[in-house]
Structure 1
């Protein structure tokens, strides 16, 4: 097996500084012969003689002197790199790229300043999209995903169950009242998130099982942000991820309707690549997100599994 070139160069520097193979062997807790083999490896690798050896002392040849002068700045550069990366691996500093769905970004973005205020060396880049891509190609350190995780190239940490809720502005409720059950949505104005066929069919669970209800309204949008904004104006009832509207519910800017008929949920996880070391900065962001979800669950008095997205 090829000997480590960098380690051999470091041994050469120390041999010339101490003037002794034995001293370097003691420093490195290896045999004198092992240090000698490293110097021989360098001579074979570069095809030159590096040392004059006598019974009394060691001295560098001209080629050895040239290699020593070139090796020192290389070794110093490696030490600088190791120090910088070691600092990042030991503390939560540097950039974390996080993949989020649009709805989740509404929940995470307003909360990030609190995290960054206590970790000034940390940077977080939110990569927002409802289309799931490849984490490596997208250079993501961490990502939110819904559904069962079947990709063996990632490690998933289950957080809970993603929930959707029917919501309306208080002004709409004041004018039209609340539906008592999902079937009554047919008499209400609804705002449809258009994602393809059957977008106007909303699914709820209740005492009698799962119910599919067809809704209608004059506003449709292929973006949850537009649906959200239209609901806040008081136009009608929207069916949105809880994570997107939780702050509006807390502030009373939106009201949850049909709370006795929750929508069926899907698993929600945080994932990261199994081909990467999980840096402290990435773990910090992951733990932060999980804690925000826990706090939301506590505030809403939800069950241990009913969570967001």
Structure 2
């Protein structure tokens, strides 16, 4: 048995979550992957993976093996600083607006790292990163899970907007207390979907609303707002082009949506593979390139 090849196959199975997906990535058959993992377990006389009808999970021994492989990988990265390139897949979970922003920029990253691949997962809520096999996840607001490594990389900027067609039917709210009389379109940016928070620069004001439409994806709410269905709080990433074109109108300008910290989190592992570090650096740099996200005091601008 080629133990190095078997170890790489085992690591790929863990990263992809299945024998068939690993086989596809490695360009071999699924039985070949199964045989390599079985041979590895036989070599070490221990079970590395639990196999059930619902999927795969690591045993305690498998967890230790994975940590050893990651440590070896990091050592190789350090030793190969003269030209070692990131390789493998990185699973990155992000809120939908940020995912759209990143997707326009990922081409340059992938071109610079031909052996690297990124699985971009759009998700508004935090995940069980170990169970979901995520390498990195971007979360909005405070992070309550103390078991994760957290790095703040920016701040949200959002607008309360409506389409001209809606404002032709209903007068725009001038203060948060007037929002309750409006049709509200909500997605769960962070926290409860029936609470919106605004700031006038000196204080934060939370407003309880009764949404007429709730969705788990900001893009759906964006489309509903464009169609004139009501008021919506939208990220600047998806709202600004429509504000500039007059398709959406920012309202209640003296009370803008409160800004939230943007934090990237990852499991508390001692060693970070080069593939993950490369994507983390890209993510941090991408946030810095947008003035509306790179600082807590960024100005909001519209035409």
2:197 corresponds in structure 1 to: 203
Cα drift, residue 192 of structure 1 = 3.3
Unaligned residue ranges in structure 2 (runs of 5+) = 5-71, 299-303
Cα drift, residue 166 of structure 1 = 1.0
Query: Equivalent residue of 1:235, what SS?
Result: coil
Q: CA RMSD in A?
A: 3.7
Q: What TM-score comes out, normalization by structure 1 length?
A: 0.57
Deviates more, 1:127-136 or 1:171-180: 171-180
1:292 aligns to 2:286 (yes or no): yes
Query: Equivalent residue of 2:254, what SS?
Result: coil
Match of 2:126 among 126, 129, 132: 132
Deviations 1:117-162 (A, max 9, x none): 3333221001332332332332222111233345454322111333
- Distance change in 2, residues 1:292/1:198 (3 Å): closer
Query: Equivalent residue of 1:229, what SS?
Result: helix
1:108 corresponds in structure 2 to: 102
Cα drift, residue 233 of structure 1 = 1.8
Paired residues of 2:85 and 2:113 also in contact (CA < 8 A): no
1:67-216, aligned counterparts within 5 Å? 90-173=84-167, 176=170, 178-193=172-187, 199-206=193-200, 209-215=203-209
Cα drift, residue 218 of structure 1 = 4.4
Q: What TM-score comes out, normalization by structure 2 length?
A: 0.58
- Distance change in 2, residues 1:207/1:254 (3 Å): same
C-alpha separation in 1, matches of 2:192 and 2:276: 38
Query: Equivalent residue of 1:133, what SS?
Result: coil
- Distance change in 2, residues 1:115/1:192 (3 Å): same
C-alpha separation in 2, matches of 1:296 and 1:170: 27
Query: Equivalent residue of 1:159, what SS?
Result: strand
1:266 aligns to 2:260 (yes or no): yes
Paired residues of 2:90 and 2:135 also in contact (CA < 8 A): yes
C-alpha separation in 2, matches of 1:233 and 1:134: 35
Match of 2:219 among 196, 204, 225: 225
